[in-house]
Amino acid sequence: MGDAPRGDAALKLAVATPRQDENRWLGDYGSPLRDNALKLALLEENKLLPEVQNQLLSTLSEEAYGQRWLSTQETNALFLAGRTLADLPGSWQAKTSLQAEPLAGDKSANPQPRRRSAGGAAGE
């Protein structure tokens, strides 16, 4: 339904268009990190452009690495992206610079966060 070729072209243009920061005050509290995290969340939620999702995930990793702090907007966008990616089926793999063997697994190390009880202690 709809005009798929024009829709695909518009989606690819939207993903490829970088944030323009010449006008520093846009009133949206945005940042490249926030925008890329939201792009990733929307693409995964709608199962669109998997090759772009992989690139966005790599870009997000580089953008977030070494950040001393994140804005509320950035934190929320990263949470949304992580939430959509947490439910993906299949295994994952990663390489670290400190270990020769690649890491692999089926799910994240802590898929279910512990809830706090009224007493305040986690896991009660």
Is residue 97's pLDDT more than 60? yes
Distance CA 54, CA 104 (A): 17
pLDDT at 114 over 90: no
Predicted confidence (pLDDT) at residue 43 exceeds the cutoff of 90: yes
Whole-number pLDDT of residue 45: 93
Per-residue pLDDT of 18-29, as tens digits, reads: 877 766 666 777
Predicted model pTM: 0.68
- Per the model's pLDDT, the better-predicted residue between 10 and 89 turns out to be 10
Q: Say how many CA atoms lie within 13 Å of 55 toward its Cβ.
A: 8
Coil/strand/helix, residue 19: coil
pLDDT for the residue numbered 124: 45
